[in-house]
Amino acid sequence: MTIFVSLRRGGQQLLLSVEPIFLVDRQYVAIATVTIMDNGKPRPAVFFDRDGTICEEVGYLSSPDQLVLIEGAAEGIRDLNSAGILVVITTNQSGVARGYFPEDVVEAVHERMRKLLSAQGARVDAIYYCPHHPEGIVGALRIDCQCRKPKPGMIHRAAAELPVDLASSYVVGDKLSDIEFGQSAGLKAVLVRTGYGREEEKKLTQDVSRKPDYVADDVYQATQWILTDLKKRGVVRF
């Protein structure tokens, strides 16, 4: 498990990530990576969809016990953490408006997701969700809002609350609506083949308007492409 330690030096915030490696002579060594952080300076962010992207798609996820992380998701997020890139979850949760489950269930699911990620040394910086739907049965939530994807409301809210550099940020999701979500805010977008991704990829032959910048097998592969792309663009150094 990677250990993260936040330090300060000369007015700079440093993020130290230490990963132990077990050797055949039963001795531990540690590889340490230092990332220079600046909380006031805008940074790249990756906006992840939740269901079918970070965790297994189960339909309307209505219990924390149903949440299972997709293999490699925590490792990919951990790599973004180490590079000083913000990790933000953005998810439509219309099950609230439809009356399938209350908002406290969504919060409980997110708490479990944080714990499962943390157990593998990964961290989420913020989670945003939209509980609305224009055909919902819960009156106050039956609206055509600005936060339901593919509208970019959740990205704009994150940019107002976090030090996000949208020009160097990305969206990752398993639906073409996620691609549209990112592109509507000027972000690069990655489609993953988990969840609904493989079926959505087939639509690209007809739907060229929502063509992603990259198609990855899963979140881990998506994060490695993003890190390489950021390095090519000179945005991050690691």
Is 49 one of the annotated active-site residues of the chain?
yes
Return the H-helix or E-strand segment holding 89: strand 86-92
Nearest-angstrom CA–CA distance, 225 and 84: 16
Q: Which of left, alpha, beta for 102 (phi over 0: left; psi -120 to 50: alpha)?
A: beta
Strands 28-37 and 12-22 turn out to be antiparallel
Tell me the chain's radius of gyration from C-alpha atoms.
18
Nearest-angstrom CA–CA distance, 175 and 66: 21
CB-CB contact of 90 with 129 (8 Å): yes
Smallest CA-to-CA distance from 212 within 227, 228, 200 is with: 200
Which is catalytic among the residues 25, 38, 49, 125?
49
Which is catalytic among the residues 25, 38, 51, 174?
51
Torsion angle defined by CA atoms of residues 66, 88, 184 and 204, in that order, rounded to the nearest 10 degrees = -50
Its sign, for the CA torsion 115, 120, 125, 127, is negative
- Whether omega for the bond prior to residue 163 falls within 30 degrees of 0, making it cis, is no
Query: Which residues does the annotation mark as catalytic?
Result: 49, 51
